[in-house]
């Protein structure tokens, strides 16, 4: 008995291994959806505390963007096409105190964005995208100025603890205003 | 001449070595296993996302929790009222959202809420949901969009 056993080759057949692996591979190939998800990140304002007064904001540092149900845009009381918002936001943020009705400096500049409740979400994103687009352009050109590369490349070059100079200079401050506040002034 | 050929072919082995084939397949397999994200929820609402240009990639996917907002899908390709779906159920009462979110944020304080909202939904509903999120102190959000151009 013992002798017979030692004569046998104690091998696991590995020829079918590839087939098993193939089956698994095909399963994962079929179920995989490579997500190309993109997003617009925002930060919601914290819950209102009745005991704390909201911080005072000078009117000149605030750019009010109002959108009504049909998608008409009012920027600081002026009627405007959606495609012009970008230029207006850029003008507001990079004003540096030159014009009296735009911001003092980029750090204080706030864009307030408010819509009516019946506005379709698609338009909401269009307007938000224009505002974000303005900041992206501003950051790109500033990064080009100080480092000679665009912002994404500059971000890539930053180490863990390095300060992001561009972000510090031009922080994105978009305020999602309370829709029910009724009357912005 | 023919004798020469014969001699040469006889010396070399004709078989392709297949011993490393499983390894190659396993490599591919592991790649796909790692990149696969299983759809863990079944969508009950239609979410046809709007396109945007100034977008970033969703980072830290593990921290992301989705809220779907859109018209409810009914039988026979019909659509019902705009509703909110969290995980795999439709939320009937918007007030429940704060409790759900509060529980979630306790589990993972760094949680990011990603909104997948249909283009046609009125922003009023979105504001209501956001109001609930503020009550639950889940303030990090993002809006999922398509990339402009590559629909």
Q: CB B50 to CB A41 under 8 A?
A: no
Q: Which residue has the higher pLDDT, B112 or A163?
A: B112
Q: CB A38 to CB B36 under 8 A?
A: no
Q: Which residues in chain A are contacts of B65 at CB distance < 8 A? A: none
Degrees, nearest 5: CA angle A7-A10-A16: 135
What is the model's pLDDT at position B150? 46
Residue A30 has pLDDT above 80, yes or no: yes
Residue B74 has pLDDT above 50, yes or no: yes
CA–CA gap between residue A4 and residue B48 (Å, rounded): 69
Look-up: residue for tokens 């790692």? B34
Query: How confident is residue B4, by pLDDT bands cut at 50, 70 and 90?
Result: low
What is the model's pLDDT at position B26? 84
Which among B32, B38, B134 has CB closest to A25? B32
The CA distance from B4 to the nearest CA of chain A, in Å, is 36
Residue B9 has pLDDT above 60, yes or no: no
Q: CB A179 to CB B25 under 8 A?
A: no
What is the model's pLDDT at position A182? 42
Residues β-bridged to residue B73:
B79
Q: Which residues in chain A are contacts of B117 at CB distance < 8 A? A: 121
ipTM of the complex: 0.72
Scanning A127-166 for CB atoms below 8 A from B yields 128-129, 132-133, 135-136
Average pLDDT over every residue of A136-155: 85
Which among A25, A39, A117 has CB closest to B55? A39
The tokens for B50 are: 């709007």
Q: CB B25 to CB A136 under 8 A?
A: no
What is the model's pLDDT at position B25? 83
What is the model's pLDDT at position B5? 58
Average pLDDT over every residue of A7-27: 79
Average pLDDT over every residue of B133-150: 82
CA–CA gap between residue A121 and residue A128 (Å, rounded): 10
Average pLDDT over every residue of A88-98: 83
Average pLDDT over every residue of A36-45: 80
Closest CA to A120 of A69, A65, A66, A81: A69
Which among A21, A36, A120 has CB closest to B22? A21
Q: CB contact, 8 Å: A35 with chain B?
A: yes
Q: CB contact, 8 Å: A117 with chain B?
A: yes
Residue B135 has pLDDT above 50, yes or no: yes
Provide the number of CB pairs (under 8 Å) joining chain A to chain B: 142
Q: Which residues in chain A are contacts of B84 at CB distance < 8 A? A: none
What is the model's pLDDT at position A158? 81
Q: CB contact, 8 Å: A57 with chain B?
A: no
Average pLDDT over every residue of B100-112: 88
Q: Which of A114-128, B47-61, B121-135 has the lowest mean pLDDT?
A: B47-61
Average per-residue pLDDT for chain A: 80
What is the model's pLDDT at position B149? 62
CA–CA gap between residue B25 and residue A19 (Å, rounded): 9
Q: CB B123 to CB A120 under 8 A?
A: yes
Residue A36 has pLDDT above 80, yes or no: no
Answer whether B47's CB lies under 8 Å from B116's CB: yes
Q: What is the pTM of this model?
A: 0.74
Query: How confident is residue B151, by pLDDT bands cut at 50, 70 and 90?
Result: very low
Query: How confident is residue B30, by pLDDT bands cut at 50, 70 and 90?
Result: confident
What is the model's pLDDT at position A178? 65
CA–CA gap between residue A117 and residue A68 (Å, rounded): 8
Answer whether B111's CB lies under 8 Å from B65's CB: yes
CA–CA gap between residue B49 and residue B140 (Å, rounded): 20
């Amino acid at each position: 008995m013992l002798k017979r056993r030692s004569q046998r080759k104690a091998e696991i057949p590995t020829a079918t291994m590839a087939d098993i692996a193939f089956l698994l591979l095909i399963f994962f190939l079929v179920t995989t959806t490579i997500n190309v998800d993109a997003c617009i990140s925002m930060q919601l304002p914290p819950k209102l505390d009745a005991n704390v007064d909201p911080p005072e904001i000078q009117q000149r540092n605030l750019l009010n963007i109002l959108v009504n149900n049909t998608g008409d845009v009012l920027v600081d009381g002026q009627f405007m096409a959606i495609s012009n918002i970008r230029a207006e936001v850029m003008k507001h943020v990079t004003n540096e105190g030159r014009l009296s009705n735009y911001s003092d400096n980029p750090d204080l500049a706030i864009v307030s964005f408010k819509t009516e409740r019946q506005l379709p979400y698609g338009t909401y994103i269009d307007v938000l995208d224009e505002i974000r687009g303005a900041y992206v352009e501003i950051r790109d050109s500033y990064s080009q100025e100080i480092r000679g590369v665009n912002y994404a490349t500059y971000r890539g070059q930053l180490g863990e603890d390095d300060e992001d100079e561009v972000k510090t200079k031009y922080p994105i401050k978009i305020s999602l205003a309370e829709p029910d506040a009724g009357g912005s002034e | 001449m023919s004798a020469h050929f014969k001699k040469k072919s006889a010396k070399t082995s004709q078989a392709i070595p297949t011993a490393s084939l499983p390894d190659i397949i396993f490599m591919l397999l592991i790649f796909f296993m790692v990149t696969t994200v299983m759809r863990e929820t079944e969508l009950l609402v239609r979410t046809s996302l709007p396109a945007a240009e100034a977008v970033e990639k969703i980072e830290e996917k593990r921290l992301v929790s989705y809220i779907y907002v859109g018209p409810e899908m009914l039988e026979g390709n019909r659509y019902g009222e705009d509703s909110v779906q969290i995980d795999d159920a439709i939320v009937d009462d918007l007030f429940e959202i704060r409790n759900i979110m509060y529980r979630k944020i306790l589990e993972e304080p760094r949680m990011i809420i990603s909104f997948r909202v249909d283009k046609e939904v009125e922003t009023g509903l979105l504001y209501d949901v956001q109001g609930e999120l503020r009550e639950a102190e889940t303030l990090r959000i993002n809006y999922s969009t398509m990339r402009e151009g590559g629909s």
